[in-house]
Amino acid sequence: MKIVDRIVCALLSFGVILAAFFAPLIHWLYQITVYGLANGLLGGVTGEYIGNANDQGWTEDDYSLYNIYKLLKDFGVDFKELFSGNKELNPNLEIFVPLIKPVLVFFAITLVIALATGIVSLASKAKTPRMILSGAGIVSLVFLKSSFDKLVLPIIEGKVTLGSLLDIPWLGMISKIEVINLSGGWVMMIMLFAAVILWNISYILTSDEKNKAMMKKGK
């Protein structure tokens, strides 16, 4: 049972890392403004063709970091050139430089904590370090959410459009972003950390009950 205990906690902890990259982490609501304008001018013809005459071109999606990586590659973003420092930074992105740092820091801290929790779970039977690390992971995710909300605020307020963000001017003319926030993947990461805590608490409680039962039998 002790081996199972360690394996379960390790899997939950390493699951946080997988969720960070492959679970739907970012939710956004955007409008294809050209579609909404065309639908209004044509009296709902385009909407009826698709199935909703009142459709104004609003769409909502959830993306994982992996999905975002593929999407940016499709738009021609060269990550090697971007991080090499050889390419001059898009002036429209300068507003995000101080805002993205805490997001990256708390995201990295969360991953390190998840990795540490998994390693500690496999290497030691001690329950307290696992629970402390998992609690720290939850706190880090709360700060990550706060930092992310500040990061996307210029986009929500319209100070930076999607077109200027990707340096594709025409994109800003046909699209509008209304909502960007952390979604299911973020919640999943919190739940995995919480599951580690609850698992260890339940294990401690059941172990105490077994020990008491054995002591009674011994008497």
186-216: pLDDT as tens digits: 999 999 999 999 999 998 888 755 555 555 5
Specify the higher pLDDT residue, 174 or 50.
174
pLDDT band at 156; cut points 50, 70, 90: confident
pLDDT at position 38 is 53
- Cα–Cα dist 213/219, whole Å: 10
Q: Residue 160 contacts by C-beta under 8 Å, 6 or more apart in sequence? A: 92, 95, 96, 154
Burial of 41 (0-12, 13-18, 19+ CB in 10 A): exposed
- Cα–Cα dist 213/206, whole Å: 11
Q: Report the candidate in 122, 88, 86, 141 with the shortest Cα–Cα distance to residue 2.
A: 122
Return the HEC string of 108-151: HHHHHHHHHHHHHHHHCCCCHHHHHHHHHHHHHHHHHHHHHHHH
pLDDT at position 115 is 97
Tokens found for residue 53? 């005459």
Burial of 139 (0-12, 13-18, 19+ CB in 10 A): middle
| Residue 214 one-letter amino acid | M
pLDDT, average across residues 66-90: 67
pLDDT, average across residues 33-54: 51
Reported pTM: 0.78
pLDDT band at 1; cut points 50, 70, 90: low
pLDDT band at 46; cut points 50, 70, 90: very low
Cβ neighbour number for residue 167 with a 10 Å cutoff = 14
Based on C-alpha coordinates, what's the Rg of the chain?
24
pLDDT band at 157; cut points 50, 70, 90: confident
Q: Map residue 57 onto helix, strand or coil.
A: coil
Report how far apart the first and last C-alpha atoms of the chain are (Å, whole number): 25
Q: For residue 74, how many C-alpha atoms fall within 13 Å in the half-sphere facing its CB?
A: 6
- Cα–Cα dist 11/18, whole Å: 10
| Residue 122 one-letter amino acid | L
Tokens found for residue 182? 């952390």
